[in-house]
Chain A
């Protein structure tokens, strides 16, 4: 099955090639194939596939990858707007399966 894609040109993923040491840890944690190895470092190969999970940022020892991480969940955004606690989708039950 082809990769499902969400909206274009919206994610906050940023890559600083100067800082990248080419350890490639980010490649092991990205669940969306956003990044690829290139010239001893990495490159952002499929930016729109990024879901801003933050795994690459968390596992980048040189702070070359940054992203405003969060959960792409409308219910969570509504819950926050309504001032309910918790970032998860279903307030009383919490989280995806």
Chain B
């Protein structure tokens, strides 16, 4: 649409099937780094000089969530250039930040388009945006909106006041479930080649007998599969109910339980093989669980460093010991 600052692209608040398919693919890691929206100003519906200005990141999922939450409303959307990273991560890196916001206000000609001087910024942009600096240098007042875009309508109706519930980042089961694929896929990218290499080793250890290599190879696939299931799927899903505060401890609990289940299902293993599974699966599961700290919403860098200080050596030793026992079993036929 035409504005005093030139033509501004118009967007709809209705997501199309292609938007939903795009979001699904990104959750599975497909084209995740090129799921972007061009930075700049957009018109949602038929906004005027008094309409609200909402700021978001150039990650298309962030943009889509915002416009879907604003269904039936008119407003301006100012997209900052975050290189396709979501608001929270980009704020941590500083690309969703004070400088970019001030630049984007200027280059979009926002001051000529709206008569007020107020921006509604997602609360999770806070680590990158110094509201007092934006105000001082651009004249625009930053009003922090709620954490979740879905809460914007009640926020607007509540005279731009967010309730404590709107201010808190949640981490419910569905949110954790949505993150599971991005735990599983990187884990499999390492686990599958590792299982393939170890299967070849089993073949070599067995004196090139496929028949005798099958046992040790099967242990590798079961152990790695169980580890990924325990550490990258079950631990994230069961997170609030697992004992311990450190993620490694939670993963260790699930991994140990899963290792016993795997052994129970595969009864008749030799002692070395059984021990190999009982050591390696909890260790790998604990490691994978520890990696979920990055996707979670309640860990701190200092906490993660403390956890890693004791957990990483244990996970390495457990995995190495499991591997050594497996080699001994494969070579010795245990």
Contact = CB atoms under 8 A, between A and B. Distances in A.
A42 interface: no
Contact of A74 (B131, B164, B291): B291
B89 A10 contact: no
Given A5-B245, A6-B298, A10-B302, A59 B132 contact: yes
What interface size band does chain A fall in? 35 or more
B86 interface: yes
Q: Which of B86, B239, B297 has the most CB of A within 10 A?
A: B297
Nearest to B244: A7
A64 interface: no
A4 interface: yes
A71 B294 contact: yes
A70 B172 contact: no
A87 B291 CA distance: 14
Contact of A33 (B32, B167, B303, B305): B167
B29 A1 contact: no
A73 B298 contact: no
B117 interface: no
What interface size band does chain B fall in? 35 or more
B3 to A, nearest CB: 30
A77 B169 contact: no
B127 A69 contact: yes
Decide if the interface of chain B is mainly helix, strand, loop or mixed: helix
Decide if the interface of chain A is mainly helix, strand, loop or mixed: loop
Given A53-B127, A74-B304, A96-B294, A31 B147 contact: yes
A12 B186 CA distance: 31
Interface string B292-317: 01111111111111111000100000
Nearest to A91: B186
Contacts of B170: 1
A29 interface: yes
Contacts of A4: 171, 239-240, 296-298
B27 interface: yes
A49 B83 CA distance: 30
Nearest to A70: B301
Interface in B12-46: 26-27, 29, 32-33
Given A1-B240, A10-B302, A73-B299, A93 B294 contact: no
16 contacts: A28-B162, A29-B126, A31-B167, A51-B297, A55-B127, A58-B128, A69-B92, A72-B294, A73-B293, A75-B291, A77-B304, A94-B89, A95-B85, A96-B89, A97-B61, A97-B86
Given A59-B129, A97-B295, 5 more contacts: A59-B131, A70-B92, A88-B93, A89-B291, A97-B179
